């Protein structure tokens, strides 16, 4: 650790918080949020554990692996290939197909001629070269491009790179896409053109319907882009309302590759993401009382001799112990949204937490958090605590009705249907 | 979720084993179901990879598409699927029974059997729906001619997966995870219950193992392949993609021997992914068969048989394929049908099954107890006639929150309406409920024998059993759809655009 970095015990305040977060992560580069992980914040917002791990930039996937609960995410190579091919098709010829879609039925947008700028590539770079990865430079190019857009130039921005402050840490997000200025068909001619974020997704829209879960995920991600774009315009001194509340979802139609454009209102998602981002700064309070011994240092020192394993700064046991010091709020939905899910699930199950069975079960148990407590109240072996009387009455009624019903013979099969 | 179901889940979690939430089976299980396990290629709308199907547990048929993105191979696959499904369906309509004429319907012939497809999960049903949609508008001529059985297969699959599967109480197309979860509460979440091997582990764990432990093992995709329709991404990366590539390269090099070898390997790999699920699905069917069938099972299956007969008659009479989107009236009619089917399914389940009825008791919509007093002579004089209005007093431990005046009925005698007269706390705890019998006692001045409950009898009374059965809103006939709702629907004729519809 460099001497200029204050120790973990530094005074509270932004600098102290930042230092403590760095110490929590240990000497490895921080992982930053992307649109997917920011979108995931809206799924289980109340979890302190994830908030701390994210704020500290801990690589959650690696952490989960190290403690023996690897996440099971993965994308099929077939899906990846298909997604890339479709995006390429939509963006071919400087996104000609995309502009055509907006002008055609059913959107009939009034779209002026656009200048196409690929912000992923340096102006004088070889067009065959891979997308430039220097984020700062790309962000700067994006900023300049949007300054021109703010001045009224119609610009089609491909591969823009936007920034969003997430819990004091800068996250970069990359709309697949493109912001274009257009005027909806029903707007009056004098209405200002707005900027639209377009999101290219390769799931199919069949007979006007798509998988609601996929549409929902796309909408939340697109909301992150809208938000980031609005922040940029605010920085540029331009009214952020220039960015439309609707986003364009570009998907294949039916069973063909033919793209179609769908307008999606993401106001609700924007509000949800904003709410989550606004809550995050309280991270200082979350870590203030944390034992100084807690950290998630995933660094591994190189082995002393060839062929030997490297020395891990922290053992699986130590890492697990650190995790238990920060409160989690497990819900079954975590499995598809957070890399720590299998660890948190096993913890919740071991503790007999009603949450492991899902929010609806916990609610139906009258909000009682512990399964064994609910069962004891139901069986009459434990009394109800204060505020639990209604829950206790229902639980006891349920236990009695269930046990009685087990003794009653069901209506005989093959009997006459009295109900006609 | 009802408190009772939540409690059952909590008990299952404590015991490490699923707990029944029904006493009987509320779906029909055919003597010869057709098990269908589809696998679809990731990232594509409806690109089948393989289907394992059959009625014989020991002899499944495996159909494989060696190159899922090749149109010809897809149609070959669909033809082969049709060769399997069509004879199965035809065999169900060999025999008919005569249904006597009623007020609204003339005499007709109903098939004595109906087909039944069993899929591992709702995703499998959705895969069939998409396959049906992609196949039913194909034609035997035009730019992309297909075998005549392909559009027929499309219409069958649409009927199973789109028309019947969402219909409450229908058993012709079942998603096994949903059916099992309808009958059992596990100690895991509803989300995890969607994983067939895990769910079945809770219900029927291997000897010497708890359901919880078995479910944990079953979740590992390396040990137990997922039940589809999506394959494990690791399998796609490590096995499928290299085999597909090898096969494509062999084809490009025109090396037919290598093509055959690669296809054989692909087939073997997909068989290995499907076989464990095949066995699991049949185990699930065993579990269902071991439960006694609900009393209404026969009647519900009769409705399925009737619908099946109608559908087949429609096809023979040259009805067009199901439209892509229903007309406004058809959609409204469909919604009303779904709603009334749900009502009647809820109702019959509660009547047939004390465990289902128990949920309503906890919710305050029903109460159960013992009859302590009966005045069978009680009458009400209306005009010049006296009507039997027996008085019944019941003792219950359930908290009765219902108001005097509500109508009730008991599963023991569903057509007898009963009015709640008074409720008062009983000295011995619980409540004393005064009831008046209002109907279901025959036409005489005194009640028919056996129509009045006896002292000491256990009874349960519920409000929703006395409610008026749902009546369908009046809807105009299809050809009179008001223009405000899009005008009369055009009879669907296969249009050139449908036939030529691209299918990558
Ligand atoms: S998996 Fe664990 S850390 Fe992640 S959000 Fe859920 S409870 Fe929090």
What one-character-per-residue DSSP string does B77-130 give? HHHHHHHHHHHHHHHTTS-EEEEPP-SSS--EEEES----EEESSHHHHHHHHH
Based on the fold, state whether residues A116 and A152 are members of the same structural domain.
yes
pLDDT at residue A124 in the model: 56
Q: Decide if pLDDT at A129 tops 70.
A: no
Least CB–CB distance from B189: residue in A75, A357, A409: A357
Asked if residue B391 has a cis previous peptide bond (ω within 30° of 0), the answer is no
Contact assessment for residue B447 and residue B458, using Cβ atoms and an 8 Å cutoff: no
Contact assessment for residue B46 and residue B131, using Cβ atoms and an 8 Å cutoff: yes
Query: Is residue A3 included in any domain, yes or no?
Result: no
Report the alpha-carbon distance of residue A72 to residue A191 in Å, rounded.
Answer: 49
Query: Is residue A48 included in any domain, yes or no?
Result: yes
Nearest Cα residue to B280 out of B170, B119, B160, B123: B119
Q: Which residues in chain B have their CB less than 8 angstroms from residue A366's CB?
A: 3
Task: Calculate mean pLDDT across residues A66-76.
Answer: 89
Contact assessment for residue A252 and residue A83, using Cβ atoms and an 8 Å cutoff: no
pLDDT at residue A282 in the model: 74
State ipTM.
Answer: 0.86
The residue written with tokens 């952490």 in the block is A63
Q: Which of residues 357-386 of B touch A (CB under 8 A)?
A: 357-359, 361-362, 368
How many domains does the structure of chain A reveal?
A: 3
Between chains, do A419 and B351 touch, taking CB under 8 Å as contact?
Answer: yes
Based on the fold, state whether residues A63 and A200 are members of the same structural domain.
no
Q: Atom 2 (ligand 1): residue with closest C-alpha? A: A344
Q: Residue A416: closest CA among chain B residues belongs to which residue? A: B295
Asked if residue A232 has a cis previous peptide bond (ω within 30° of 0), the answer is no
Q: How far is A391 from chain B (nearest CA, A)?
A: 9
Report the alpha-carbon distance of residue B339 to residue B134 in Å, rounded.
Answer: 28
Instruction: Pick the atom of ligand 1 nearest to A341's CA.
Output: 1
pLDDT at residue B350 in the model: 93
Which residues are CB-neighbours of B34 under 8 A, at least 6 positions away?
Answer: B53, B54, B55, B85, B88, B115, B116, B117, B118
Q: Decide if pLDDT at A7 tops 70.
A: no
Report the alpha-carbon distance of residue A30 to residue B249 in Å, rounded.
Answer: 43
Report the alpha-carbon distance of residue A275 to residue A42 in Å, rounded.
Answer: 9
Report the alpha-carbon distance of residue B140 to residue B148 in Å, rounded.
Answer: 6
Burial class (CB in 10 A: 0-12, 13-18, 19+), A63: buried
First and final C-alpha spacing in chain B: 43
Cβ of A50 closer than 6 Å to ligand 1, yes or no, is yes
A71 touches chain B (CB under 8 A): no
Task: Calculate mean pLDDT across residues A42-53.
Answer: 86
**Alpha-carbon distance values, A415 to A412, B168, B412 (Å):** 6, 22, 12
Task: Calculate mean pLDDT across residues A99-127.
Answer: 79
Based on the fold, state whether residues A94 and A42 are members of the same structural domain.
no
Nearest Cα residue to A330 out of B219, B18, B6, B191: B191
Based on the fold, state whether residues A326 and A376 are members of the same structural domain.
no
Angle of the B3-15 helix axis to the A389-407 helix axis, nearest 10: 80
Least CB–CB distance from B503: residue in A255, A371, A378: A255
Based on the fold, state whether residues A378 and A233 are members of the same structural domain.
no
Q: Name which residue leads in pLDDT, A222 or A12.
A: A222
Report the alpha-carbon distance of residue B72 to residue B78 in Å, rounded.
Answer: 10
User: Both tokens of residue A293?
Assistant: 């011994």
Query: Is residue A192 included in any domain, yes or no?
Result: yes
Determine the 3-state secondary structure of A124 from DSSP.
coil
Between chains, do A395 and B7 touch, taking CB under 8 Å as contact?
Answer: yes
Adjacent-strand bridge partners of B51? B38, B63
Q: Name which residue leads in pLDDT, A282 or B291.
A: B291
Contact assessment for residue B431 and residue B424, using Cβ atoms and an 8 Å cutoff: yes
What's the longest Cα–Cα distance across chain B? 99
Q: Which residues in chain B have their CB less than 8 angstroms from residue A358's CB?
A: 189-191
**Does the B354-462 domain belong in CATH 2.40.30?**
yes
Based on the fold, state whether residues A90 and A210 are members of the same structural domain.
yes
Between chains, do B504 and A256 touch, taking CB under 8 Å as contact?
Answer: yes
Residue A8: pLDDT band (50, 70, 90) is very low
Q: Which of residues 208-237 of B touch A (CB under 8 A)?
A: 212, 221, 230-231, 233-234, 236-237
DSSP 8-state symbol, B239: I
Residue A3: pLDDT band (50, 70, 90) is very low
H-type helices in A188-324, by residue range?
A: 212-235, 267-279, 283-288, 316-324
Q: Atom 1 (ligand 1): residue with closest C-alpha? A: A341
Based on the fold, state whether residues A191 and A314 are members of the same structural domain.
no
**Residue B268: Cβ within 10 Å count:** 12
Give the containing element (helix H, strand E) for B500.
Answer: none
Q: Which residues in chain B have their CB less than 8 angstroms from residue A204's CB?
A: 45-46
Determine the 3-state secondary structure of B235 from DSSP.
helix
- Domain extent at residue A34: 14-67+290-302+310-354
pLDDT at residue B500 in the model: 52
Q: Which residues in chain B have their CB less than 8 angstroms from residue A410's CB?
A: 23-24, 292, 294-295, 352-354
Q: How, if at all, do strands A194-200 and A246-252 pair?
A: parallel
Q: Decide if pLDDT at A93 tops 50.
A: yes
B42 touches chain A (CB under 8 A): yes
Adjacent-strand bridge partners of B162? none
Interface test with B, best of A411, A415, A420 (most B CBs within 10 A): A411
Based on the fold, state whether residues A248 and A387 are members of the same structural domain.
no
Report the alpha-carbon distance of residue A267 to residue A244 in Å, rounded.
Answer: 10
Between chains, do A401 and B398 touch, taking CB under 8 Å as contact?
Answer: yes
The residue written with tokens 């609960």 in the block is A69
Based on the fold, state whether residues A171 and A194 are members of the same structural domain.
yes
Which residues are CB-neighbours of A406 under 8 A, at least 6 positions away?
Answer: B23, B354, B355
Nearest Cα residue to B162 out of B129, B119, B122, B121: B129
Based on the fold, state whether residues A166 and A45 are members of the same structural domain.
no
Asked if residue B8 has a cis previous peptide bond (ω within 30° of 0), the answer is no
Q: pLDDT digits over A166-203, tens only?
A: 877 788 898 876 667 777 777 666 677 788 999 999 99
B437 touches chain A (CB under 8 A): no
**DSSP states along A83-116:** HHHHHHHHHHHHHHHHHHHHHSTTT--B----EE
| Ramachandran angles phi, psi of B244, nearest 5° | -65, -40
Q: Decide if pLDDT at A139 tops 60.
A: yes
Contact assessment for residue B98 and residue B109, using Cβ atoms and an 8 Å cutoff: yes
Contact assessment for residue A101 and residue A112, using Cβ atoms and an 8 Å cutoff: no
Per-residue pLDDT of chain B (504 residues; tens, 9 = 90+): 899 999 999 999 999 999 999 999 999 999 999 999 999 999 888 889 999 999 999 999 999 998 877 788 888 999 999 999 999 999 999 999 999 988 878 899 999 999 999 999 999 999 999 999 999 988 888 778 889 999 999 999 999 999 999 999 999 999 999 999 999 999 999 999 999 999 999 999 999 999 999 999 999 888 899 998 999 999 999 999 999 889 889 988 999 999 899 999 999 999 999 999 999 999 999 999 999 999 999 999 999 999 999 999 999 988 888 888 888 888 888 998 899 899 999 999 999 999 999 999 998 999 999 999 999 999 888 888 888 999 999 999 999 989 999 999 999 898 899 999 999 999 888 999 999 999 999 888 888 888 999 999 999 999 989 876 544 445 545 444 444 444 333 344 444 445 455 555
Query: Is residue A253 included in any domain, yes or no?
Result: yes
Q: Decide if pLDDT at A10 tops 80.
A: no
Q: pLDDT digits over A367-397, tens only?
A: 999 999 999 999 988 887 778 888 999 999 9
Adjacent-strand bridge partners of B392? B374, B435
Based on the fold, state whether residues A50 and A137 are members of the same structural domain.
no
Which residues are CB-neighbours of A13 under 8 A, at least 6 positions away?
Answer: A284
Report the alpha-carbon distance of residue B350 to residue B363 in Å, rounded.
Answer: 13
**This prediction's pTM:** 0.89
The CATH 2.40.30 domain(s) of chain B lie at 354-462
Q: What share of chain A is helix, strand, coil (3-state, %, to 5)?
A: 45, 15, 40
Q: Name which residue leads in pLDDT, A226 or A171.
A: A226
Rounded to 5 degrees, what angle do the CA atoms B222, B225, B229 make?
140
Report the alpha-carbon distance of residue B320 to residue B302 in Å, rounded.
Answer: 25
Between chains, do A402 and B355 touch, taking CB under 8 Å as contact?
Answer: yes
Nearest Cα residue to B323 out of A262, A263, A210, A208: A208
Give chain A's length. 420
pLDDT at residue B94 in the model: 93
Cβ of A44 closer than 6 Å to ligand 1, yes or no, is yes
Based on the fold, state whether residues A128 and A260 are members of the same structural domain.
yes
Strand arrangement of the beta sheet that strand A246-252 belongs to: A179-182, A194-200, A246-252, A259-265
Query: Is residue A361 included in any domain, yes or no?
Result: no
First and final C-alpha spacing in chain A: 80
Nearest Cα residue to B367 out of B343, B401, B403: B401
Q: Decide if pLDDT at A9 tops 50.
A: no
Report the alpha-carbon distance of residue B456 to residue B138 in Å, rounded.
Answer: 66
Q: Which residues in chain B have their CB less than 8 angstroms from residue A81's CB?
A: 43
| Ramachandran angles phi, psi of A56, nearest 5° | -80, -5
Instruction: Pick the atom of ligand 1 nearest to A43's CA.
Output: 5
CA of A260 to the centre of ligand 1 (A): 37
Q: pLDDT digits over A227-268, tens only?
A: 999 999 999 998 998 899 999 999 999 888 889 999 999 999
């Amino acid at each position: 650790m460099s001497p200029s970095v204050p120790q973990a015990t530094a005074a509270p305040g932004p600098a102290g918080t930042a230092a403590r977060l760095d110490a929590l992560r240990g000497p490895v580069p921080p992982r930053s949020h992307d649109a997917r992980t920011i979108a995931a914040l809206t799924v289980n917002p109340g979890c302190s554990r994830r908030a701390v791990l994210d704020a500290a930039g801990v690589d959650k996937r690696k952490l989960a692996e190290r403690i023996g609960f690897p996440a099971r995410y993965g994308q099929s190579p077939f899906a990846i290939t298909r997604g890339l091919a479709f995006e390429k098709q939509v963006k071919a010829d400087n996104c000609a197909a995309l502009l055509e879609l907006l002008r055609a039925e059913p959107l009939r947008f009034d779209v002026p001629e656009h200048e196409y700028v690929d912000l992923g590539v340096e102006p004088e770079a070889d067009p065959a070269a891979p997308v430039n990865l220097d984020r700062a430079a790309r962000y700067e190019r994006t900023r300049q491009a949007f300054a021109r857009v703010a001045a009224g130039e119609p610009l089609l921005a491909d591969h823009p790179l936007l920034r969003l402050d997430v819990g004091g840490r800068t996250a970069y997000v990359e709309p697949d896409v493109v912001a274009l200025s257009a005027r909806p068909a029903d707007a009056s001619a004098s209405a200002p053109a707005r900027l639209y974020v377009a999101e290219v997704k390769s799931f199919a829209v069949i007979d006007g319907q798509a998988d609601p879960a996929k549409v929902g995920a796309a909408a939340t991600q697109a909301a992150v882009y809208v938000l980031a774009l609005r922040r940029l315009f605010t920085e540029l001194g331009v009214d952020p309302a220039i960015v439309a509340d609707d986003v364009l979802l570009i998907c294949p139609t039916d069973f063909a590759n033919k793209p179609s454009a769908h307008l999606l209102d993401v106001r609700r998602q924007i509000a949800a993401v904003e709410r989550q981002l606004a809550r995050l700064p309280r991270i200082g309070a979350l870590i203030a009382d944390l034992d100084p011994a807690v950290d998630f240092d995933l660094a591994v020192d190189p082995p002393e001799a060839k062929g030997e394993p490297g020395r891990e700064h922290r053992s699986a046991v130590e890492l697990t112990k650190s995790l238990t010091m920060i409160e989690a709020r497990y819900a079954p939905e975590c499995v598809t949204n957070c890399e720590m899910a299998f660890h948190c699930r096993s913890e919740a199950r071991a503790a007999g937490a009603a949450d492991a069975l899902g929010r609806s079960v916990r609610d139906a148990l009258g909000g009682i958090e512990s399964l064994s407590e609910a069962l004891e109240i139901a069986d009459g072996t434990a009394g109800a605590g204060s505020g639990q009387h209604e829950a206790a009455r229902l639980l006891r009624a349920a236990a009695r009705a269930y046990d009685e019903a087990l003794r009653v013979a069901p209506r005989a099969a093959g009997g006459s249907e009295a109900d006609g | 979720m009802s408190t009772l179901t939540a409690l059952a889940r909590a008990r299952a979690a404590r015991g490490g084993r699923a707990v029944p939430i029904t006493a009987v089976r509320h779906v029909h299980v055919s003597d010869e179901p057709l098990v269908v396990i589809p696998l679809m290629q990731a990232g594509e709308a409806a690109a089948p990879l393989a289907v394992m199907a059959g009625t014989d547990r020991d002899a499944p048929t495996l159909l494989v598409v060696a190159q899922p993105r090749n149109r010809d191979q897809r149609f070959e696959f669909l033809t082969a699927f049709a060769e399997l499904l069509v004879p199965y369906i035809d065999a169900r309509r060999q025999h008919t029974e005569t249904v006597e004429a009623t007020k609204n319907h003339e005499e007709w012939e109903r098939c004595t059997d109906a087909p039944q497809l069993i899929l591992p999960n709702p995703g499998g049903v959705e895969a069939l729906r998409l396959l049906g949609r992609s196949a039913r508008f194909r034609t035997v001529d035009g730019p992309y001619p297909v075998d005549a059985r392909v559009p027929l297969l499309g219409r069958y699959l649409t009927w199973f997966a789109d028309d019947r599967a969402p219909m409450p109480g229908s058993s012709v197309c079942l998603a096994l995870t949903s059916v099992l979860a309808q009958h059992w509460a596990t100690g895991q979440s509803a989300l995890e219950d969607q994983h067939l091997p895990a769910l079945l582990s809770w219900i029927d764990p291997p000897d010497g193992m708890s359901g919880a432990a078995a479910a944990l093992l079953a979740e590992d995709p390396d040990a137990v392949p997922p039940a589809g329709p999506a394959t494990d991404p690791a399998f796609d990366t490590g096995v499928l993609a290299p085999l597909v590539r090898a096969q494509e390269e062999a084809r490009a090099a025109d090396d037919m021997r290598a093509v055959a070898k690669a296809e054989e390997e692909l087939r073997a790999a997909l068989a290995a992914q499907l076989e464990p699920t095949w066995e699991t699905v049949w185990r699930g069917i065993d579990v269902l068969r071991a439960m006694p069938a609900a009393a209404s099972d026969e009647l519900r299956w009769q409705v399925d048989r009737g619908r099946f007969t109608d559908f087949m008659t429609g096809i023979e009479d040259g009805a067009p394929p199901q439209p892509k989107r229903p007309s406004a009236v058809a959609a409204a009619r469909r919604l009303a049908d779904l709603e009334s089917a749900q009502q009647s399914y809820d109702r019959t389940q509660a009547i047939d099954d004390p465990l289902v009825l128990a949920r309503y008791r906890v919710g305050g919509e029903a109460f159960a107890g013992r009859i302590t007093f009966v005045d069978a002579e009680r009458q009400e004089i209306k005009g010049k006639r006296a009507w039997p209005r027996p008085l019944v007093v019941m003792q219950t431990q359930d908290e009765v929150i219902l108001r005097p005046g509500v109508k009730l009925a008991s599963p023991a005698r569903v057509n007898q309406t009963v009015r709640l007269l008074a409720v008062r706390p009983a000295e011995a705890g619980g409540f004393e409920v005064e009831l008046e019998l209002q109907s279901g006692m025959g036409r005489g001045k005194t009640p028919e024998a056996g129509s009045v409950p006896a002292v000491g009898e256990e009874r349960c009374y519920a409000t929703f059993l006395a409610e008026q059965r749902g009546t369908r809103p009046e809807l105009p006939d299809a050809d009179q759809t008001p223009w405000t709702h899009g005008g009369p629907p055009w009879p669907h004729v296969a249009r050139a655009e449908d036939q030529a519809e691209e299918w990558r």
